[in-house]
Amino acid sequence: MIEKKKRNIFQIIDDWASARSLWLLMYCTGCGAIELPPTMTSRYDMERFGIAPAGTPRQADILLITGYLSIKTLKRVIRAYEQMQSPKYVIGLGSCTINGGMYWDSYNTIKMLDLYLPVDIWIAGCMPRPESVIGGLNKLSDIIKAGEANGWKKYNENLKWYRANQKKVIKKWDLPEFNY
Amino acid sequence: MNIVWTVLGIIGVYIYGVFLMGLGRKISARVQLRYGPPVYQNYIDILKLWTKKTNISHGIMFDLGPVFLLTGSIGTLLLIPIAATEQLMYFGFSGDIIVIMYLMVFGSLGFALAASQGANPFGIMGISRALTLLAAYELPFILGIVILMMDANSASLSNIISHQAGGYMNWYIFKQPLAAIPAFIALLGMMGKQPFDIPIAPQEIATGPMAEFGGKYLGMMMSSHAIFMTAKYILFVNLFLGGAGNPINMIFKVFLIWLFPLFVGLVYPRFKTSQAVRFFWGVPSLIGLIGLIIHWLR
């Protein structure tokens, strides 16, 4: 737990701006891909909170992981996460990212995403409805506004620990040491 | 105190351009039966991009790319009179339309170098599409402008404005419709809105040239896009809608023209690159050519 530091006026403005404009990089691995189009389009319209989809990892603020991650896809997710520009946040969507969900005894999926990437907020459910997706995004926005969404700092400080965990599951490691 | 007015004009155009981008998002949301983001959303987006903590660079040309874009857009704006008052006429001279047409290409060409250094295949694909589209819409645009230059017997923007003085029936959009139609169709291509958003097609090539740019680079590009977009609308008001006597008038006329690509973009889906080239070199160019011949014979 990183203790709360006193912020000056510029940092407060920074946090306010990043909380009001969140660009999503959606990594749709499982059934979560189905829940996101209604979240974006007319019915639930997440754009009214300033949340918009981003084209590439370089432009995105949030990495939204919707569902189970196999060991092969975990490699790609790590790569995409490290290409994003900080401040960056990770959302784990669905129970698959929390405890493995219905894949808990699978031989090639990871069970807890938090061991490999610093997750800022979880959205539980199988699958969460668009309402809860938007609710989770708004909750994240509140956390950012309070200056407490420091997952990216945690990742940089504890890179060794995360790398060790990642290398434990990814047997054939061919990523560069840190590709930011 | 010309420099103060110049800086004020650039800042005003920037603020208005970002406002128009936000308003466009709101209007398109309402057309799609959504509530839409607040109209000031784009100010927050740009502020957020400027406050990013890390900014990846791939080399010197990569750093210079957004600078080229900003230089091209401000350079274009400086040659275009915002309003026909003494202070806001800027640096016009005889033959400035030709210089403006060169400067409008400058940003894209400089940015092509930057996107190539990023070495992202999507970036290179986007740049090749952007330059193809540029070659496509320049033809009807130049045909339209040549007719105006023949009619005013001058290549100076302030002469063309003064030729349209005295009532709205003297505006070139009514006086020379065969010049206005190709030029306004070329405007659709210039704006990069929906039917011609081939260079940045987010669903196909992941925003194309911008794929590798993030953080402050992207903030700078959004700022220069706001200035460049508004500068082009101001150019079109000056060419076809008789310019403006004061800035308020100009804001209103720019808003009127701005609605045209917005609503066209909301209705039509994206062209393929080859279809866009065939479209621009077909009917609009033909109309422009006919207008040129008619004007020649008269």
Contacts of B266 in chain A (CB under 8 A): none
Is B35 in Cβ contact with A59 (below 8 Å)? no
Buried b (16+ CB within 10 A) or exposed e, B110-123: bbbebbbbbebebb
Question: In one letter, which amino acid is B51?
Answer: T
Put simply, whether B34 touches A (Cβ < 8 Å) is yes
Q: Which of B40, B51, B57, B266 to mutate to test the interface with A (most CBs of A within 10 A)?
A: B51
- List the single best residue of A20, A89, A137 to mutate versus B (max B Cβ within 10 A): A20
Which has the closest alpha carbon to A97: A118, A72, A75, A76?
A118
**Facing B48 at nearest CB: one of A18, A49, A53:** A18
Per-residue pLDDT reduced to its tens digit, B277-294: 999 998 889 998 898 898
Amino acid at B135: A
Q: How far apart are CA B200 and CA B24, in angstroms?
A: 17
pLDDT at A170 > cutoff 70: yes
**pLDDT tens digits, A125-160:** 888 888 998 999 999 999 988 878 888 888 888 888
Measured distance CA(B78)–CA(B71) in Å, rounded: 10
- Which pLDDT score is estimated for B20? 92
Q: Which CATH number fits domain A23-169: 3.90.1150.10, 3.30.70.270, 3.40.50.12280, 3.30.9.10?
A: 3.40.50.12280
Sheet holding A51-53, edge to edge: A51-53, A22-28, A62-66, A89-93, A121-123
Q: Do A85 and B55 touch (CB under 8 A)?
A: yes
pLDDT of residue B255: 92
* Closest Cβ–Cβ partner in A17, A59, A61 for B44: A17
Interface test with A, best of B31, B52, B62 (most A CBs within 10 A): B52
8 Å CB contact of B214 and A58: yes
Residues 6+ apart with CB under 8 A from A127: A31, A32, A34, A35, A66, A67, A93, A94
Residue A69's CB is within 10 A of a number of other CB atoms, namely 27
Neighbours of A9 (CB within 10 A): 7
Q: Which residue of A has its CA nearest to B32?
A: A42
CB < 8 Å to A52, chain B: 37
Q: Are B90 and B9 in contact (CB under 8 A)?
A: yes
CA distance B213 to chain A (A): 6
Cα B220 from chain centre? 16
Determine the residue among A10, A58, A137, A178 to mutate to test chain B binding: the one whose Cβ has the most chain B Cβ atoms within 10 Å.
Answer: A58
Q: What share of chain B is helix, strand, coil (3-state, %, to 5)?
A: 75, 0, 25
Please report which confidence band the pLDDT of residue A164 belongs to, taking 50, 70 and 90 as the band edges: confident
**Pairwise CA distance, residues A121 & A97, whole Å:** 11
B218 in A contact zone (CB under 8 Å):
yes
**Given an 8 Å threshold on Cβ–Cβ distance, is B214 in contact with A84?**
yes
- The answer to whether residue B90 scores a pLDDT higher than 70 is no
Query: Which residues have C-beta within 8 Å of that of residue B12, sequence separation ≥ 6?
Result: B82, B247
Q: What is the pLDDT of residues B52-62, one digit of tens each?
A: 887 777 888 88
B206: nearest CB among A48, A49, A55: A55
Instruction: Please tell me the distance in Å from A69's CA to the nearest CA on chain B.
Output: 23
Residues in B closer than 8 angstroms to A89, CB to CB, are: none
Please give the radius of gyration of chain A, using alpha carbons only, rounded to the nearest integer. Answer: 16
Over chain A, what is the mean pLDDT?
85
Inspect the interface and report whether the beta carbons of A14 and B213 lie closer than 8 Å: no
Q: Which residue of chain B has the CA closest to A17?
A: B48
Q: pLDDT: is B246 or B20 the higher one?
A: B20
Q: Give contacts of B52 with chain A, Cβ < 8 Å.
A: 85-87
Supply the pLDDT for residue B5.
80
Chain B residues 40-69 within an 8 A CB cutoff of chain A: 41, 44-45, 47-48, 51-56
- ipTM for the predicted complex: 0.84
Distance CA B292, CA B147 (A): 6
CB B82 within 8 A of CB B11: no
Do residue A17 and residue B37 have CB atoms under 8 angstroms apart? no
Domain boundaries, given as residue ranges, for chain A: 23-169
Q: Which of B41, B207, B211 sits opposite A50 (nearest CB)?
A: B41
User: Element (H or E) spanning B195, and its range?
Assistant: none
Q: Is the C-alpha dihedral spanning B9, B259, B264, B45 positive or negative? A: positive
Residue written as tokens 């039966």?
A: B33
Phi, psi of A25 (to 5 degrees): -110, 115
Mean pLDDT estimate for chain B: 86
Residue B181: pLDDT over 80 = yes
CB contact under 8 A, B56 and A47: no
Least confident of A32-46, A135-149, B163-177: B163-177
Closest Cα in chain A, distance from residue B53 (Å): 6
